[in-house]
Amino acid sequence: MRRFPLAALLVLAASCATRQPMTGQPATGVDRKLSTFAYIEEGKLATFIVDTRATRYRGKDNYIPIEIAIANRGVKVLTLTRESFTLADENGNRYPCASPKELLENYDFLDLDRDLEELNEIVFNRFGAMTRYPSNFSPTHFAARQGQSRVVIDRVQLPQYGYLLDMVYFPMPATGLQGHTFELTMTAPELTDAIFVKFEVK
């Protein structure tokens, strides 16, 4: 279980409390939305986006997919691994990323989840001046899609003004999925504080 300093958590909680929703969106206790399924936390050092389009179809499976986009805006290099990400449910339970071995042996929808990705189109203009870097924390069963690789990458070093898109997986939360809120936390050696996105699966 990953633990964060109390002071850092208090700072993060205070910043969350002051976030404002986008025009026309009610303040529901989650981060602001880019689309029906995409939630964003945008700071000076990094932008972190979570998308639940694929997540919402996996309510009865052992693992859940979460599509992510990360842009490095303010540090020389951002070092990320699967251990950088932790999912928390409403009851405070925390879940680490599933390993490639666990997914290949116990999960059948790796390729179908990729067909449900949508962040590439959503962030195209937002990250238009940045460079996309390869990231593949999770495996696939069959042939890679165009522009993707089947080779799993355990560690990504994301330069400043670079961004990545990927799919990460977690064990099914004890709360279930539909109608519940979650928090996806990202840490990196180069970041003083964790960055998190609070989102709902509908």
Give yes or no for a contact between 113 and 167, defined as CB atoms under 8 angstroms apart: yes
pLDDT score recorded for residue 12: 43
**Could you tell me which residues come within 8 angstroms of residue 129 by beta carbon, excluding any fewer than 6 positions away?**
161
pLDDT score recorded for residue 196: 96
Give yes or no for a contact between 170 and 63, defined as CB atoms under 8 angstroms apart: yes
Q: Domains of the chain by range and CATH?
A: 33-201 (2.60.40)
pLDDT score recorded for residue 1: 44
pLDDT score recorded for residue 150: 72
**Centroid of chain to Cα 187:** 11
User: CA–CA separation, 139 vs 152, rounded Å?
Assistant: 6
Q: Considering the entire predicted model, what is its pTM?
A: 0.83
User: CA–CA separation, 95 vs 92, rounded Å?
Assistant: 10
pLDDT score recorded for residue 25: 42
pLDDT score recorded for residue 141: 83
pLDDT tens digits, the chain, 202 residues: what are they? 444 454 444 444 444 433 333 322 443 589 999 999 999 999 999 999 999 999 999 999 999 999 999 999 999 999 999 999 999 999 999 999 999 999 999 999 999 999 999 999 999 989 999 999 999 999 998 755 555 667 899 999 999 999 999 999 999 999 999 999 999 999 999 999 999 999 999 9
User: What is the 3 state secondary structure string of the chain?
Assistant: CCCCCHHHHHHHHHHHHCCCCCCCCCCCCCCCECCCCEEEEECCCEEEEEECCCHHHCCCCCEEEEEEEEEECCCCEEEEEHHHEEEECCCCCEEECCCHHHHHHHCCCHHHHHHCCCHHHHHCCCCCCCEECCCCCCCCCCCCCCCCCCCCCCEEEEECCEEEEEEEEEECCCCCCCCEEEEEEECCCCCCCCEEEEEEEC
Question: Which residues on neighbouring strands pair with residue 200, listed in sequence order?
Answer: 181
pLDDT score recorded for residue 61: 96
